[in-house]
Amino acid sequence: MKYSLQDSSITLAEELPDQDLFPLIAEHTTDDILPMQNESSEGYMPLRAWLQSEWQQYKGIEVDVNQILLTTGNEQGMELLTRVYVDQGDTVLVENPTSPSILELLRMRGATIIPIDADAQGVLLHALEEFINTTSPKFLFVTPNFTNPTGVIWSLERRAQVLDLCRRRHVLIVEDDTYGDLYFDEAMDPVSFSTRYPSLFRLDGGQKVGGQVLYLGSFNKTVAPELRTGWVIGKRKLIELMCAEMPLGDCQSSALNQRILYQLLVSTTFDWRNHIALVRREYNIRLELMKKLLNQPVWRGARYDLPLGGMFIWIQLPEGLRSEALLKCSIPKGVDFCLGALCCVDKGDGFDRIRLNFTQPRRGELIQGMQLISEAVSEFTARS
C-alpha cells in the first residue's frame, strides 16, 4: 500500500517534528571539535553522563552510566534489541495499534506479532494475560506516553498493573518514550509530569530493583532531529548484548553527532528545557487549530479523541468511508495522510481509520491540507 505524493506539497502522514522550530546548531556550538578516535560502542561518555544526571533531576530515576547506550534513535534501539532477542518465528506482544516503522522492523525480523489492544488507560490487562498464558513472548512493546497513533497516555493504575503482571510472568517490557516530552498541559513541569505519569522503568525501580523494563528515549523529536541521536537504558547485561550487536550494523551511532549534541545541550546560549516548552506550546496551538478544522460539518460522523500530547490525531472516518479510497482521492488534490491499516498489527484492521500528523505541517499548511482532505471526504459523503 504505497502511494507517491508527486505533485502535492502537504503531508500529514509523517512522524516528524517541524524542522523550523529547532535551534540552528552552529549558533550554539563551536567548530573546534577535535579529530577523534571512535568512541566506545556505548557512545560518547559526557553525553551519557549528562543523561544520567538529567534522569535523576527530572525523571526521579537513578541509573548507572553503564546502563546507558547511545543510539541513532529509538528505531535503532529496537533494531538492536530484536537482533539480540528475536529469531524468525519468535512471538512478541505489541500494543495495538502502534508505529508503522516499529511493526515493519518486527516483520522484517520474522517475528510473530501478537496485537494487544488498548483502551484510553493503556493496554488491556485481560488480553495481555491471555497472550502471556498462551504464547512465550520474547517481550512486550509499548508506548505509554502519547502512543503513536492513538495519542493515548496510560493511567498510573494501568502502568502499575502491566508492570506487575509482566514482573510476575518474567516478560521483558520495552518502553518506547519517543513522545514523552511532548505534553501540552502548560501547568505541568517535567518533574510533575514524570511524577504523575512515571515511566514503567521508574516504577520498576530503575537501577535499584529493576531489570524488567528496557527504556528507549530519543532526541529526534525534541531537540535536534538532524543529529539522529537517542538512547537505551536497561539492565547492564542486556545493554552489553545490544552493544555487542552494534559492530554488525553501523559500528556505532555517529560519535560526531553525539559530541555536537552534547555541546548544544550544555551550551550557555541554549536552554533545552525552554526550547521544548516552546515546541510544546506551538504544537498545542496546532492541535487547537486541528480541533477547529475537524469541527466543520463534513467531519460529522468521524470519531476521535484529542490527545494531551504527542504528534497525531487518530480518526475513525464517518461510516462507510474507507481510508484507502479517501487517500486515493486526496493525493491528486495535493495532500496525504497515514492509512490506519499501516498502524495495525493485522493488516485487515484500521481500514476505516486515518492518522493525521499536526506537528510537521505549519499552521497554514494544516489549514490548506485539511481543506483538501475535507473536500475529498465531502465527495464521498455527497455520493452516499
Rule CB under 6 A: is residue 123 a binding residue for ligand PLP?
A: no
Nearest residue to ligand PLP on Cβ basis: 73
18 binds ligand PLP (CB under 6 A): no
Using the minimum distance from each CB to ligand PLP, give the nearer residue, 177 or 321. Answer: 177
Q: At what angle do helices 45-59 and 255-266 cross, to 10 degrees?
A: 50
| DSSP state letter for 179 | T
Nearer to ligand PLP, 10 or 78 (CB): 78
- Cβ at position 250, least distance to ligand PLP in Å: 13
Closest distance to ligand PLP from the beta carbon of 179 (Å): 7
Rule CB under 6 A: say whether 361 interacts with ligand PLP: no
Instruction: Please identify, using beta-carbon distances, which residue of 360 and 381 lies nearer to ligand PLP.
Output: 360
Burial of 248 (0-12, 13-18, 19+ CB in 10 A): exposed
Provide the H-helix boundaries in the chain.
25-28, 45-59, 74-85, 100-108, 125-134, 156-168, 190-196, 200-203, 236-245, 255-266, 272-294, 323-330, 363-383
Q: Considering the rule CB under 6 A, would residue 75 count as an interface residue with ligand PLP?
A: yes
Asked if 218 interacts with ligand PLP (CB under 6 A), we say: yes
85 vs 92: CA distance, rounded Å:
10
Q: Does 99 bind ligand PLP (CB under 6 A)?
A: yes
Cα dist. 182→15, 273, 277, 307, 373 in Å? 13, 11, 8, 11, 26
Q: Give long-range contacts, CB 8 A cutoff, 24+ apart: 267-273.
A: 267/28, 267/29, 269/27, 269/28, 270/23, 270/28, 272/223, 273/190
Stretch that binds ligand PLP, among 55-63, 71-79, 199-207, 280-288 (CB under 6 A): 71-79
Note whether 360 binds ligand PLP by CB under 6 A.
Answer: no
Question: CB-wise, 143 or 150, nearer to ligand PLP?
Answer: 143
Our finding on whether 67 is near ligand PLP (CB under 6 A) is no
> CB of residue 143 vs ligand PLP: minimum separation in angstroms?
5
Tell me which residue of 306, 311, 285 sits closest to 222, measured CA to CA: 311
Nearer to ligand PLP, 230 or 307 (CB): 230
Q: Which is nearer to ligand PLP, 158 or 298 (CB)?
A: 158
What is the distance between the alpha carbons of residues 295 and 103, in angstroms, rounded to a whole number? 32
Question: Which residues ranging from 153 to 192 are in contact with ligand PLP (CB under 6 A)?
Answer: 176, 178
152 is written with which cell numbers?
493515548
Residue 148 sits in the site that holds ligand PLP (CB under 6 A): yes
CB atoms within 10 A of CB 274: 9
Query: Taking the CA of residue 123 as centre, how many other CA atoms within 13 Å lie in the half-sphere pointing to its CB?
Result: 30
Residue with Cβ nearer ligand PLP (220 or 263)? 220
With CB under 6 A as the contact rule, the residue among 10, 11, 13, 15 that binds ligand PLP is 15
Query: 261 with 227: CB under 8 angstroms?
Result: yes
User: How does DSSP assign 315-354, residue by residue?
Assistant: EEPSTT--HHHHHHHHGGGTEEEEEGGGGSSSTTTTTTEE
Q: Is 220 in the site for ligand PLP (CB under 6 A)?
A: yes
Query: Binding marks (x or -) toward ligand PLP, 300..339, rule CB under 6 A?
Result: ----------------------------------------
For ligand PLP, the closer of residues 107 and 168 by Cβ is 107
Instruction: Rule CB under 6 A: choose which of 17, 43, 73, 137 binds ligand PLP.
Output: 73
Site residues, ligand PLP (CB under 6 A): 15, 73-75, 99, 101-102, 143, 148, 176, 178, 218, 220, 230
